[in-house]
Amino acid sequence: MNQVKIGKFIAQCRKEKNMTQAELAEKLNITDRAISKWETGKGMPDSSIMLDLCNELNISVNELLSGEVIKMENYDRKVEENFIKLQKEKEDSDKRLLFTETVIGSIITISFLLMIFLSIFAIENIIWKVVTITIGIIIFIIGIGSCLLIEQKAGYYQCDNCKYKYIPSYKQVLFAMHSGRTRYMKCPKCHKRTWNKKVID
């Protein structure tokens, strides 16, 4: 999405309606700083507020996302373009998330092993040994927890039986057997337990 273009379009529509940023903000129950952020291209309206905003400005969501008034004959094409763009942006952000997971996972594993190594070979005092191992385990648990959280949120899992894509609950992900990012889980559609692959699109 071209945020700057969208921002200019929001400003233009607002001015055509003879509204100030403050007036529009009040109608939407948000701060005028949010409006100014959108209009300068520094942020996008949340999907939760998009419909209300479009209502106030008398434009379609599709026009908002395109940053321009769309002629009727181009409408379907634009809808598709915008849909694909949103899809692409979600995919990119999921990919970034999964990369972050890999980085966190590696750091956690290395520091965990380091703590264990230190406590066994380098530290002689028994109390410090216990403290080091405890810290290692805490880092490990927090790390694995946040990795799982990322993995559950990013993209989808695909059922091997019916190919249905879904987002499982955190609990499901936590207790599922896994090999890499492929997890053995029950599909919410066909209710079969299969190895579910992680997919982005």
Residues that bind Zn ion (CB under 5 A): 159, 161-162, 164, 187, 189-190
Of the pair 12, 161, the CB lying nearest Zn ion is at 161
What is the closest distance, in whole angstroms, from the C-beta atom of residue 149 to Zn ion in the complex? 24
CB 119 within 8 A of CB 139: no
What is the closest distance, in whole angstroms, from the C-beta atom of residue 159 to Zn ion in the complex? 3
What is the closest distance, in whole angstroms, from the C-beta atom of residue 190 to Zn ion in the complex? 3
Of the pair 62, 182, the CB lying nearest Zn ion is at 182
Of the pair 103, 177, the CB lying nearest Zn ion is at 177
Of the pair 9, 157, the CB lying nearest Zn ion is at 157
Q: What is the separation of C-alpha 95 from the centre of its chain, rounded to a whole number of angstroms? A: 10
Of the pair 110, 162, the CB lying nearest Zn ion is at 162
Range 183-188, long-range pairs (CB < 8 A, 24+ positions) = 183/157, 185/157, 187/159, 187/161, 187/162, 188/164
Of the pair 8, 165, the CB lying nearest Zn ion is at 165
What is the closest distance, in whole angstroms, from the C-beta atom of residue 168 to Zn ion in the complex? 12
Give me the residue label for tokens 């999405």.
1
CB 146 within 8 A of CB 185: no
What is the closest distance, in whole angstroms, from the C-beta atom of residue 131 to Zn ion in the complex? 47
What is the closest distance, in whole angstroms, from the C-beta atom of residue 180 to Zn ion in the complex? 20
**61: closest CA among 29, 33, 95, 85?**
85
Opening angle at CA 183, ends 139 and 87, nearest 5: 95
Q: In this structure, which amino acid lies at residue 151?
A: E
